[in-house]
Structure 1
C-alpha cells in the first residue's frame, strides 16, 4: 500500500488478520481483588483492582512495534469485565466462536475456569442491581413492548468520554499524583464532606502508582528484549522504547514520540479499567502539535518518521477490541469500538486551527485504511481549501472516513445549553459523532438508552396498547379508526411520547444510581476536570459539565407515517382509517393490503425530498420530544456540574435495525420487523431528488436544539469524484449543506457491485472498510455490515 513503510504494512497485516480471542486474565485478577477486599470502600476496591490488573496482566512487544501497550495477552483479544454482568458470558461460553459474525475464540482450557469465576459474580453485578431496582413499567417495556433500549448500558462500562489528554501530557503521572496528594493534604477531616473526598483521592493515588508501574513494565521488557535480538536496528529501537517508557512513567513527555506513547498508554489504561466503548481522544492535532513542531523544527525527527509513528498509533488503536452479548453484537457488527479522533476547527476568536499535524494525521488515515480510529474533521466557514481537498481525497478512498461536523451549528448549540464560549469552541466528537468539551464533560454526551419513536407512534394509534403483547402502560386516546381529525392523532402521539420520555429518564437515572454505587472509574475520574479538585468521581458530579442524551430512533419514519395519515386519510380521503388500520394490523397481507401499501409508498410525499409539508410535519412531531426532554434532570443535577440535564439526539448507530424488529407495519409503507431510517437519513428507497433535496430536508429540522448530535449517512458511486471538477462540486455541496445548518454528514464512496461481491466473497475483500451508521467496519468480519450498507445508506448512483 502506498504511503506505508514495510514495517507498517507488516504490522497492519498482522492486526487485520488476527483472529479475535477472549482473555480471562482480567476477570481472574479482579475476582481475587474483590474477594480479598470485600470490606473496603468501593473507590479503594476499584483502585486496587486497576493496580493489580496493571501489575499482573500479560504484556508483550510485537516485533517491529514502535508504540507499545496491550489490553490482553494477544492483539485483538478482549478482556472480560464480570463486574458489569455475568449471565450472558456464562451462557455464551461455548457459542462465541460459533457466531454468525464478530466471532471470538476462547481456549478450551480456560472455559471451566471462566465459568467458576463467573459464579462469584452472581447477584453482585451492575446488571443484577439494576434489574432489582428498575421500575415495573420499565421492566414491562423491556420484556414485552420495546420502546426503550437501555440494557446495553448495564452490561458494560460507561465509556463515551474524552479524558483530559492535554492535562496528562502537561503534568505527567507524577504531576497528577502531586495534584491529588496536595488536595488530600488540604482536607479538613472534621468536615464529613471532606472525609468522603478523602477516600476518592486515596484511590486516585493508588491507581496512578499502578499506571506508572505498568509503563515501567514495558520499559523493563524492552530492555530484556534487546539481548534477545541480533538485529542492530531493532536493538536501537528497543533501547528507544525503553528510554521513552522510562521517561514518561512519571514525567511529562519531552518530544513527539514520548507524547504519542504516553497518549496511547493513558487511552489503553482507560480501556482496561472499564469496558465502556467510545473512549475517544479529542483534538489530537491540537494538543500534540507543539511536540511535533518542535521536533520537526529542531530536526529531532523527520516527517517520514513522524508519520510512521502516527501509523503505529492508529494500528494500536485498532488492536483494542470489546466483547459484547450476541443480542447486542448482531446489530453493531464489525467489532466497533468507536474510538473517535477529531482534527481541524477554530479557536475562540474564529481563527482556523488547522496545522501541519492535521494534514499528517489525515494522510496517515488514508494510508492505513482501518475501521478504527473513528475519524472526524471540524469544518467552518474559514476552513482552508487545502483541508477540504484533503478530506475529499481520503473520503474518495471509500472507507467512510473522515466524517465531517459543522462548527457553525455545534458551537452555538453548546453555548445555548450553558457551555462557556471558550469551552464550546474547543469541542470534540466522541463515539459516533456526539460532542463534548474534552476533559471537562461527564460520561455519555450521547449513547444512553434508545427511544423507539416509531413504536411510540404504533402505541398511539392503538389506544396505548402493544398489539403483540396486549400490554398497555399509558392509557391512549383511542385507536386509529376512532380519530375524527388529524389533530387527535397528533394529541395521541404527544401523550404517548411524553409518557415514554419520562420512562426513558427514569430508566437512565436508575441505571446511573447503580453505576455510581458499584462501578466508579477512578482513573477516568482523575483525568476529567474537576474531579480531583472536587474530590468526587464523575458519577458523583465531579465533571465541569454533565449533560446526557439517549438517541431517538425513527424520526423520518414517524414524519412519513403521520404525513401519510394526514394526506391520504384526512385531506384527500384516498384511504379510510378503518382500511388503513386493517392493513397495518395484517402487515399489508393480501391484494387489498398490498394495494394500500403502494398508495402509502407512492401517493404520500416522503421526508428527504425537500417538500415542506412532510419535512415540517417531521420537525413538528420530533419537536415535541425536544421541548419535553430538557425539563428532566440527571443524577448529577445540583451536585456541581453545569447542566445536569437531558438533551435530544438522533445518533442511532445501528439501533434502527433492532428497533424495526420491535415494530409492526407502519403508515409510511414499511412492513413489520423491517429496519427503520438511520439517524436523520431518509428512509432507504424514498429519496427521489438527489443529495441537495436530502440536505434541504435535513436543514429544516431543529438542528440547533439537537445538541446530542444528528447523524446523516450518504452513499455515492465512486464515479462522481473522478476529476477535479467533480471534487470541487462535491466540496460545494458540503459547504452548502453546512451553510444551511447541517450538523454532520458522512459518506460511503463505494459501488453497489463491490458491496455485493464483498458480501458473497468476504475473504477476497479483507481490506474493504464500509461505513455503517456512526462507525466503520472491515467487511471481512461479518456480512451484516455489508448488508446494512446496501439496505440502509442513501444511494445516489
Structure 2
C-alpha cells in the first residue's frame, strides 16, 4: 500500500483540513494543463528586458554601475507584464508564458552570428518575434565593444599581446564570461524567517552609518543600490496582489474567487514579512528565487536544502490540519511547474554546451549540524513529486551517508527507477571532507557545522548553503584538445592556428615519457592562458555586470559591503571546470600500448591514421578502440589514470592562486561541453572519430569500452580521481530498466550506491532507459516528447537534445545484469 495514500486516508477519517483557499478539485487538472502547455508551446524571446535595458542605461548614465544595475532590476520588476495562469504560486520570469529574456550585457556576438539559425532553449524550439529582432539589432549596435566578453578580451590583448579568441574558437576552452553566470545557493531560510523589510532596515542602518569617505565609495554605492532592489521585489509581489484582487472582483466562481483573494493576501505579506505557514513560505521562496533569476538568468541558481528549511512550515501545517500530505504534494507540483518555466538563451553555442540545463538543484538527505541523519518526510514528498512529474527542472541531488534509513533509500530508488535519472548521488562524507580542506586556507577557516550544511548547485558542484557562491566561474578547458595539440606540435589541425606551444615533433619521440612530457607542456600552456583569461574575466564582471540583489542574498556581502563577484560572500569560490580527462588518458594509454609497449604501430602510422580521420585505416582505428581503457578495473590502467589526474591537478595549481588569492581546486565534469568540444576536434588515438562527442563526465567510461561488468566499472570510477583535491567529479551508469524492476531491482540499486560510496566515489548517476527506446525516440520524437534522460549532472528531454548528445547517450554501455 502506498505510504503517502495511507497517511492521507487516515487523516481524512479524523479531520477535514482547511487546505487554505485553493480549489483542490481543479488543482491536479491545472497542473496537467500547465505542464502540457510548456511541453508543446515554443519558447518565446520576450522583448521587454531589451527595451528596459536600453532605457535605463541611457536614463541613468553617469551613475555607479551598482545603481544602474539596480534600476534595471527595478524597471523589470515594476514594469514587466504580469499575469495569472491558474497556478496558485505566482510569478514568471518574463511577460509571456514560456518566455525567455536576452542578457546581452555579457555578449552580443551571437545576435549577428546566429540570428538566421534555429534557436534552442531549455524546452526545445525558441521563437524570436519580429519586434524582438529589431530590438536585438539596436542592442547589438549599442553594446558591441562594451560587453563583458569584449572587455575581457581587450584587457587580455592589452596585457599579453595575444588575441584570446583563437583559443576559444579552436576548442581549447569555453569563455564563461561570454554568458551570464549565477551558480550558488542563496540564504533562503533567512528570507523566509525574517523577510525583506527586516533586511531593508538592516542595510539602511549600515548605509546611514557608513562613513562618507572615498575608501567606502564601493560600499556606499552597493548599499544604496541594494535598497532599490529590495523595494522592487516587494513592489513586484504587491503588483500580483493587486492583480489577484482585481481578477477576483470579476470572478463568479466562489472557489476560484477565494483562491484569488488568498493569493492577494499572501502577496501582500511575503516576501516583505516572515512567512507564517507552508503556503506563504512556498510563495515567499518563489519570489526570492525568481528575483535572483530575473537579475541575471543563468545556470545553477539552486534552492539547496529545501527539505530542511521548509520542513518547519510543512510540519506546522500538517500538525494543525491546515494541509494534508496530498495537498502539499499538489503544491509541490505547482512549484515544479514554476521551475520548468525558467529558461535562458545566450546564443546557440551556449545552448549546445548546456542542453537546456538551468541547474536548479534541490539537495536532499545529508546530515544536520551534529552529524545525524537529516532526511525529512518533506523530502520524501519531493521525491514523490519528481516520480509523478518527471521534470527536467528542478533536479534532485541526494547527499548519501551510511546512517540513512532503508525506507528513505527505497524511495530514492523508486525515483531513480522511474526513468528521470533523479536523484543523482553525492557521497556526503567526500563533500564534507573536501569542503573542510578547501576553506581551511581562508582567513577565518571553516566550521564543521558549515561544512555539513553543503548543498549541490548546478551540475555536480557543491558549496556552503547561503554562504558560498560559484558565480566566479573560470573558463572551461578541454583536456582532450591538449592531446590534439601535442600530436601537432601546438597547431590546431581544425582551425590551422598555432594556439599551443612548441613541444616537439611527435614522430621523433623515442619513449612514452617524451609523449607524456609534451602533453604536460601543452597542458601547462592551456591552464596558463585559461587562468589569465579567467582572472581578467572576473574584473570584467565586477566592472560591467555586478549583481546587487543576489549579493544581498549571501552571507558576507552586506557585512563587507562587497558584491559577490568581488568576493563578498563568506566563502567565495572560483571553479574551473575541466572536461574530457578520460579521453585524454585513454588516448595517452593507446599511444603507450600500441607504439611503445606492443609496437603494433609506429608513431607516424598512428599520426597518419588520425590525420585521415581513420579513413582507409579501419584496422588501426579498431586497434585504438580496443587498446586498454579506463572502466575495466585493470591495475596498470587505473594507476595511469590516477597519476594522470594527479598531474593535471599539479599543473593546474602551478599557475598560482585564483583571482581571490586562494588555491582553487579543479571541478571535473562535462555538462554538454563534451559534445560542444567534440564538434571542434579531429580524431583521437582512443579510436574516436572527428566531430563525435567526447566522453561524458570525468570518471565515466568511454561509451562501449567498459566490458568487465558493473563492479569493475564502479570500482574504476570510484578510484580514478582524488575526491578531496578535486572540487567535483562526475560518473554516469546506464541500466536496462528490466534490471532494476521489482524488489530485487531496488536492492540492487541501493547496494550499488552503497558500494560505490564505500569505494570512495564522489558522484554517481543513473540512466534507466534502454537503447532501443532511445533509438525509437530519434525516429519518432513526437511519441517520446516527455522522455527524460540523464546527460551529465542534469536531466533533459531526450528528443530536444542535440543529435551528438543523443548518440553519445545511446552508445553508453547498457548493463543488463
Task: Report if TM-score (shorter chain) is over 0.5.
Answer: yes
| Partner Cα distance (2:633, 2:163) in 1 | 38
In structure 2, the residue matched to 1:608 is 631
Deviations 1:64-94 (A, max 9, x none): x110001112221101222222232245445
In structure 1, the residue matched to 2:449 is 422
Deviations 1:179-209 (A, max 9, x none): 111211332224x322321110011111101
Q: What does 1:670-685 correspond to in 2, within 5 Å?
A: 670-679=688-697, 680-685=699-704
Deviations 1:680-725 (A, max 9, x none): 2111010101221111111222332354211111111110012212
Which structure 1 residue ranges, 5 or more long, are not aligned? 639-643
Aligned with 2:670 (options 652, 655, 673): 652
1:439 aligned onto 2:466:
yes
Change (3 A) 1:568 1:632: closer
Q: How many residues align?
A: 782
Aligned with 1:487 (options 506, 513, 528): 513
In structure 2, the residue matched to 1:721 is 740
- How far 1:789 moved relative to its partner? 5.4
Deviations 1:320-378 (A, max 9, x none): 11113112223433x32121111111123220001111111111111111111121111
Change (3 A) 1:727 1:779: same
- How far 1:774 moved relative to its partner? 2.1
- Given that 2:740 and 2:748 are in contact with CA atoms closer than 8 Å, whether structure 1 keeps it comes out as no
1:392 aligned onto 2:413:
yes
In structure 1, the residue matched to 2:208 is 185
SS in 2 for 1:698: helix
1:147 aligned onto 2:166:
no
Deviations 1:614-646 (A, max 9, x none): 1221221221121232355666525xxxxx343
In structure 1, the residue matched to 2:387 is 366
- Given that 2:485 and 2:492 are in contact with CA atoms closer than 8 Å, whether structure 1 keeps it comes out as yes
Farther-moved stretch of structure 1 (69-78 vs 777-786): 777-786
- How far 1:448 moved relative to its partner? 3.5
In structure 1, the residue matched to 2:623 is 599
Aligned with 1:665 (options 678, 683, 695): 683
1:196 aligned onto 2:221:
no
Aligned with 2:399 (options 352, 364, 378): 378
Which structure 2 residue ranges, 5 or more long, are not aligned? 6-26, 440-445
- Given that 2:719 and 2:761 are in contact with CA atoms closer than 8 Å, whether structure 1 keeps it comes out as no
| Partner Cα distance (2:122, 2:297) in 1 | 23
- Given that 1:430 and 1:436 are in contact with CA atoms closer than 8 Å, whether structure 2 keeps it comes out as yes
- How far 1:156 moved relative to its partner? 2.5
| Partner Cα distance (1:613, 1:663) in 2 | 28
Deviations 1:137-181 (A, max 9, x none): 46254366321111xx23332111211111211221111111111
| Partner Cα distance (2:34, 2:611) in 1 | 55
Change (3 A) 1:389 1:244: same
- Given that 1:23 and 1:78 are in contact with CA atoms closer than 8 Å, whether structure 2 keeps it comes out as yes
Aligned with 1:462 (options 483, 488, 491): 488
- How far 1:786 moved relative to its partner? 6.9
- How far 1:788 moved relative to its partner? 3.9
1:320 aligned onto 2:342:
yes
1:166 aligned onto 2:193:
no
Deviations 1:412-455 (A, max 9, x none): 0111112432111111001111111111113347x642211111
Aligned with 1:585 (options 597, 611, 617): 611
- Given that 1:633 and 1:646 are in contact with CA atoms closer than 8 Å, whether structure 2 keeps it comes out as no
| Partner Cα distance (1:339, 1:213) in 2 | 25
SS in 2 for 1:104: strand
SS in 1 for 2:344: coil
In structure 2, the residue matched to 1:544 is 570
- Given that 1:559 and 1:615 are in contact with CA atoms closer than 8 Å, whether structure 2 keeps it comes out as no
The TM-score with structure 2 as length reference comes to 0.92
- How far 1:474 moved relative to its partner? 4.6
Farther-moved stretch of structure 1 (658-667 vs 129-138): 129-138
Q: What does 1:752-763 correspond to in 2, within 5 Å?
A: 752-763=771-782
SS in 2 for 1:157: coil
Farther-moved stretch of structure 1 (279-288 vs 783-792): 783-792
| Partner Cα distance (1:382, 1:707) in 2 | 25
In structure 2, the residue matched to 1:566 is 592
Change (3 A) 1:791 1:766: closer
- How far 1:315 moved relative to its partner? 0.6
Aligned with 1:125 (options 135, 139, 147): 147
RMSD of aligned alpha carbons: 2.2
| Partner Cα distance (2:658, 2:576) in 1 | 15
SS in 2 for 1:605: coil
| Partner Cα distance (2:237, 2:366) in 1 | 33
| Partner Cα distance (1:98, 1:148) in 2 | 22
- Given that 1:759 and 1:783 are in contact with CA atoms closer than 8 Å, whether structure 2 keeps it comes out as no
In structure 2, the residue matched to 1:103 is 125
Deviations 1:98-145 (A, max 9, x none): 999932123334432442344322332223222322345462543663
Change (3 A) 1:794 1:262: farther
In structure 2, the residue matched to 1:234 is 256
SS in 1 for 2:480: helix
- How far 1:751 moved relative to its partner? 1.6
- How far 1:306 moved relative to its partner? 1.4
| Partner Cα distance (1:633, 1:423) in 2 | 27
| Partner Cα distance (1:399, 1:16) in 2 | 16
| Partner Cα distance (2:52, 2:482) in 1 | 44
| Partner Cα distance (1:42, 1:210) in 2 | 17
Change (3 A) 1:632 1:347: farther
Farther-moved stretch of structure 1 (508-517 vs 777-786): 777-786
SS in 2 for 1:703: coil
In structure 1, the residue matched to 2:22 is none
In structure 1, the residue matched to 2:19 is none
- How far 1:674 moved relative to its partner? 1.9
| Partner Cα distance (1:369, 1:340) in 2 | 14
1:342 aligned onto 2:369:
no
- Given that 1:619 and 1:701 are in contact with CA atoms closer than 8 Å, whether structure 2 keeps it comes out as yes
| Partner Cα distance (2:116, 2:217) in 1 | 47
- How far 1:518 moved relative to its partner? 0.7
